[in-house]
Amino acid sequence: MSPPPSRAQARRQRSLLLSVIAVLVIAFGSLAATLAGGWKPLLGLDLAGGFSVVYQPVQKASASDLSETVNILTNRVDGLGVSGATVGTQGNEIVVAVPGVKDPQQVLKTIGQVAQLYFRPVLCYAPPYSPPAKAKGATTTTTAPAALPTNCGSPYQLVTANAKSTSTGVEYSGQPTPTLAHYPTTKVDNPTATVLLPGITGPSAGRYLLGPKELTGHIVSKAVAEQSTTLGWVVDMSLTSQGLSQWNTMAKQYFHEVIGIELDGVVQSAPITEPGTSTFKTFTSVQISGHLTQQDAQNLALALNYGSLPIRLKELTLQTVSPTLGSSSLKAGLGAGIAGLILVLLYTVLYYRLLGIVVLSGLAVTAALLWSLISSLGHTTLAPSFDLAGVTGIIVSIGITVDSYIVYFERLKDETRSGRTVRTSVDRGFKSAWRTVLAADLVSFAAAVVLYLVAVGEVKGFAFFLGLSTLMDVFMTYFFTRPMVILLGRNERLAQAKGIGIARGLAVDSGVDG
C-alpha cells in the first residue's frame, strides 16, 4: 500500500483537480452559453453561399491606389451590414467575396460604384435630349455642334441678374435652354470641362449644363441619411475643417446661384446657395436633397462616408455559390474530419488503453472551446470567415494535438522502462515532454503567423484557424492533459487495472512507491 499523502501532496492533488474542473467548466460553460445565444461560426463563401467578384483597374494603378481602394471597398461592405466579407488583391486585381447574400446585384451596385463626387456651378437648365429632326428634302439630319456652349445666354443663364425675389427667397424660372435639346448627354465625365448631365429624378426632370468642378467629395467628413418633414429623405453632410473653408469660398463666389452636386455623372441635387438670405452667411454643414428615396439617400450617404475610389474599376468575373453547394461542401469536409478523428481515437485507445481515454476527453474539451471561440469571433472583425480552408486548418491541428499526447505518453514509457513506477514517472515524464511539445507548437504557430501575414484569400483563413488551434493545444496540454494524467497515474487501481490500466498501455509492470 502507498503511504498517506502529505499536506503538500494533498494541496498539489487539489490544485491538479481544480485545474481539470476549471477547464471543463470554461469549455462546456462557454459552449452552453454559445448555443443558448444562438451563436454559430460565421461561414465563408464556399460554405454559406454568396458571390465573389473580381475587379480590374481601367488604367494602370499604383500599389498605394490599390491598397486605398481595398480599404474603401472593405468599409463599404462593412457599412452594408454584411458580415464575413473579404476584400483583397491578387496581383493587380481586386477580389471581393461576400457570403450569405441572396441579391448580389444590389450589393455590387453599392460597393462597386466609383462615387466621384463633384461640386459644379450650374450654368443653365437643359431639356431632355431630343435627336435633331431631318430637314425637309435633306438626306442627313442636322446635328448639334460637338462642343458644348459655356454661355447659355439671357434669360436662361443662372446668374443673380436673372434671379427673382419671392416671399420665400430667391428663385429661378426653371426654364431650360431650348438650344441644348439637341446636345446629347455627356458620356465621359471630365471634371475640368463643361458637361451636360441628367438629374437623379430621371429624364422628365431635364438636365443640367455644368461648368468645371470647384470641389470634390474629399471635403466630406461624414454623411447621414435622414428624413426631413419638408424635403423627404435628405443627406446631411459634415465637412472637414479644410473642406468647410473651401466650401464657404465657393458658396460666397456663387451666392444666390445654383450649385450642382454630381455623383458619378448624375446631378443628385442642384440647390440655390442660401436662397432665403439677403446676404451671405457662413456654412457650418451642407444638406443634399432632391426627391431622394430612402434607398437613394442611404446609398449616397454610404458612398460619401467612405470616400471616392482613387481608380475606376471594371468587373472581370462574377461567381455565385448556392447555399446548397456550400452545405454539401461543409458536410464533406466535416465527414472527412470526423472519419479521421475516429481512426485516431481508436488507435490511441487500443494502443495506450486508459491514456487513450485522456486523448478522447481532451479532444472533446478542445472541440467545445474551439466552437465557442470561433462562434464568438464570428461576431467581430478579428477573424476571417470559417470556410473550407478553416475546416482544413482545424483538421490539420488535430494531428498536432494528438502528437502532443503521444510525445507525453512516449516520455512516460521512457521513464518507466528506466525502472521508475508509473506514479513517479507522470511528473518527470511531463517535464521533459513539455519542452518538446512547446517547441513543436511554437514552430507550428510561427509558420501559421507567417502564412497569415503573407497569404491572401482562403489561405489566410487556413493559417488563422491553424494558429488558433495550436495555441489551444498549448493551453490544453498544460492545464488539462498534465493534471489529468498525473491524477490517473497516482491512482493505484487505475495504474494496475487489468487490460485497460495505464501500466498496460505503457507496456510495463505497474508499481507503487514504498
Average per-residue pLDDT in the chain? 81
> Is it true that the peptide bond before 155 is cis, omega within 30 degrees of 0?
yes
H or E segment and range at residue 247: helix 241-253
Q: What share of the chain in percent tops pLDDT 90?
A: 19
Average pLDDT over residues 259-263: 84
pLDDT at 275 over 90: no
Which pLDDT score, from 0 to 100, does residue 512 have? 40
Q: Can you tell me which residue has the cell 461542401?
A: 329
Decide: 480 and 23 in contact? Cβ < 8 Å: yes
Q: Is the dihedral of CA 31, 32, 34, 39 positive or negative?
A: positive
Average pLDDT on 249-270 reads 86
Burial class (CB in 10 A: 0-12, 13-18, 19+), 185: middle
Confidence band for 476, pLDDT divided at 50, 70 and 90: very high
Residue 123 or residue 295, greater confidence: 123
pLDDT of 459 reads 81
pLDDT at residue 268, rounded to an integer: 76
Cα–Cα distance measured from residue 29 to residue 182, given in angstroms and rounded to the nearest whole number: 74
Helices (H), 209-322: 241-253, 294-305
The Cα–Cα gap between 348 and 360 comes to 9
Whether 384 and 366 have beta carbons less than 8 Å apart is answered as no
Per-residue model confidence (pLDDT) at position 511:
43
The pLDDT, as a whole number, for residue 253 is 93
> Residue 496 has what pLDDT?
65
Q: How confident is the model at residue 203 (pLDDT cuts 50, 70, 90)?
A: very low
Yes or no: say if 262 and 118 are a contact pair by the CB < 8 Å rule. yes
Q: How far apart are CA 327 and CA 322, in angstroms?
A: 9
Q: Which residues pair with 53 in a beta bridge?
A: 96, 318
| Cα angle: 125, vertex 126, 131; to 5 degrees | 180
Are the CB atoms for 289 and 231 separated by under 8 Å? yes
Does the pLDDT at position 385 exceed 50? yes
Distance CA 153, CA 157 (A): 6
Question: Is 151 strand, coil or helix?
Answer: coil
Q: Are 484 and 409 in contact (CB under 8 A)?
A: no
Render pLDDT for 36-94 as a digit per residue (tens, 0 to 9).
988 888 777 777 777 888 888 888 888 877 887 887 787 777 766 666 677 888 888 88
Distance CA 102, CA 322 (A): 9
Write down the pLDDT at residue 386. Answer: 80
Confidence of residue 122 (pLDDT cuts 50, 70, 90): very high
Instruction: Give the pLDDT confidence of 387-415 residue by residue, as tens digits.
Output: 778 888 888 888 888 888 888 888 888 88
